Structures are given as structure tokens and as C-alpha cells.
Amino acid sequence: MAGKGIVMNNELNVLSLKNIHKAFGGIVAIQDFSLDLKAGEIVALVGDNGAGKSTLIKIISGVYTPTSGEIKLDGQEASFSDASAARSNGIEVVYQDLALADQQPVFMNMFLGRELTKPPFGLLDKARMRRESQELVDDLDVRIPSASSTISDLSGGQRQGIAIARATHWASKLVLLDEPTAALGVAETGKVEDLIASLKEKNLAILIISHSLDQVFKLSDRICVLRRGEQIGIRETAKTDKNEIVSMITGVA
């Protein structure tokens, strides 16, 4: 049963972007972008500052609507009116500047916007949220003092761990990561990278933006290069090298 499911998922693209175009007034941020993503696959999105990487992620996650082009989710045409519409379709984003509420406990952040309640009065089921959060972070080996800890008492790596744990908990299809380790130190980056690598086993499709080519080569199956909104090309990570990617990013041969 499980095996069959995986085979089917592998045949079908979780996400399919075709000829995506996005302009802000006169500025063309993305032109003619196409990409297919399969379950259990990590694709890295690289390019210089202002290349349009964040814009692309915002288009997929419903923050921006593309000026033209087609987005398909599991083969179905999809257009999300806002971020929560994308979220309810199984797409989660981990932002570079963490979308966590700092003064709230871990478990409330884990269930932010999707708090669990219990009958008969529909009051918050804090015990269950606490327990499930603990299981989630334990499962992903994110080490925090407790699920009741306040976010602001945690380190950058722990926070990003929480953000990723939250994303994987709620994502049924696709996790988008926008420079998830940009604000982290070396040791913390290593931990978060391990965490991202472990998401493959959960059969999620993953699109990660990163400025670190070491990271990109360590994690990804394919690499997609953007330059000033233009899609330069897609390479299989195993069949390319840093030199080629760098010259694609800079346009200097």
C-alpha cells in the first residue's frame, strides 16, 4: 500500500509551474519561469540578491498572484487568494526572518492559527497542544527545554527548528524554505541542514533558497538558477559542479 502510494506520488508532480511571470509596476521580478517538483525531492533555488527568489516563493505560497502563468498542485490548477489558502492546501513556508510570535510559548507557535480546542465549550486544549508539540520536536530531534518555553528564550537554531517542525507538521505536500540558515551560526546551520535532509523521508517536496553553495550541494537533488528574474537553467546536483553554478548565477563564463 505504502509502496504503491510512493510510486504514484513520484509519477505525479506535486508542484508544477509553467511560464510564471510577475511584474511590480514596471519592474519585472520573474519572467517565464517553469519548474516541476516531485514528492521526496529537494530543489534548490539560487541567484544573486534581487534575482527574484523570494518573489517566486511568495507566488507559490499565495502572498503574490502571478501576472501570468500557471500553477498546478498535484496536477490540479491552483490559485491561492492568500497565504492561508495555500496553507490549507498543504503548502508551508519557513521564512528567513522567522514567522514566530516571540513572547508566546513553543506550543502556541506550533499551532498558531490552528489552535486545538476541546468540547464542550471550545476552549483551548493546551495540554494536547503541549504534548503534540513535544512529540513533534522530539521526532525531528530539535532540542528545546520544553514545549512551554517562551520562543524569546531560545537560540536562533532552536527557533528555526521550531519553524521547520511547524512547517513539516502542517505541510502535506510542499515546504518552501527562504534562506532558513541565513541568521544562524555554523553549528546551528549544521543541525538545521540535517533537519531539512530528514524531511525527504517524509515524502514532501521541498524548495529551498540558499546563498550557500556548500549547503545547496549537500542538500539538493536539483539546482535551479535565477538571474534578474530570468530562469537561467536547472541542473541535477550530481551532474554539475560549483563552477558551473557560479557562472550561471553571475553570467560570467
Partner 1 sequence: MTAVKQRLSGFDFQNMVVYIGFIAIFIFFAVTLYDDGFLTQRNLTNIFLQTAPATIMAIGLVFALSAGEIDLSFGSIVAVSALTAAVVLRDYPLIMGVAAGLGVGILIGALNGVLVAYLKLPSFLVTLATMGLFAGIARSMTDLRSVPVMNEAFTGFFGSGKLFSVPSLLIWTVVAAAIGHIFYRHTRFGAHVLATGDNPRAAQVTGIKVPRVRLYVMMICGGTAGLAGLLYAGRLQAAKYTLGESDLMTVIAAVIVGGTALNGGKGSVIGALLGSLLMGMLNNGLILMNLKVSDQMIVRGLIILLAVAVSLRDSSR
Ligand X SMILES: Nc1ncnc2c1ncn2[C@@H]1O[C@H](COP(=O)(O)OP(=O)(O)O)[C@@H](O)[C@H]1O
Binding site for partner 1 (CB under 8 A): 63, 83-84, 87-88, 93, 95, 98-104, 108, 112-115, 117, 122-124, 126, 145, 149-150, 153
Q: Which does 29 bind (CB under 5 to 8 A by kind): partner 1, Mg ion, ligand X, none?
A: ligand X
Per partner kind, with CB cut-offs from 5 to 8 A, the member of partner 1, ligand X, Mg ion, none near residue 51 is: ligand X
Given partner 1, Mg ion, ligand X, none, residue 227, with its beta carbon under 5 to 8 Å by kind, binds none
Stretch that binds ligand X, among 24-32, 66-74, 100-108, 149-157 (CB under 6 A): 24-32
Q: How far is 218 from 102, CA to CA, in rounded Å? A: 31
Q: 3-state secondary structure string, 144-162?
A: CCCCCCEHHHCCHHHHHHH
Q: Which of 40, 50, 156, 190 binds ligand X (CB under 6 A)?
A: 50
Q: Exactly one of 14, 15, 17, 29 binds ligand X (CB under 6 A); which one?
A: 29
Roughly how many angstroms between the first and final C-alpha of the chain, as a whole number? 49
Q: Which of 194, 206, 192, 129 is nearest to 160 (CA)?
A: 192
Q: Which one-letter amino acid corresponds to residue 61?
A: S
Does residue 61 bind ligand X (CB under 6 A)?
no
Question: Judged by CB under 6 A, which of 3, 4, 11, 49 binds ligand X?
Answer: 49
Q: What angle do CA 146, 148, 149 make, to 5 degrees?
A: 70
Minimum distance from CB of 12 to ligand X (Å)? 28
Q: Build a one-symbol-per-residue string for 54-93: x at contacts with Mg ion by CB under 5 A, - elsewhere.
A: x---------------------------------------
Nearest approach in angstroms of CB 66 to ligand X is 13
Q: Which is nearer to partner 1, 63 or 213 (CB)?
A: 63
For Mg ion, the binding residues (CB under 5 A) are: 54
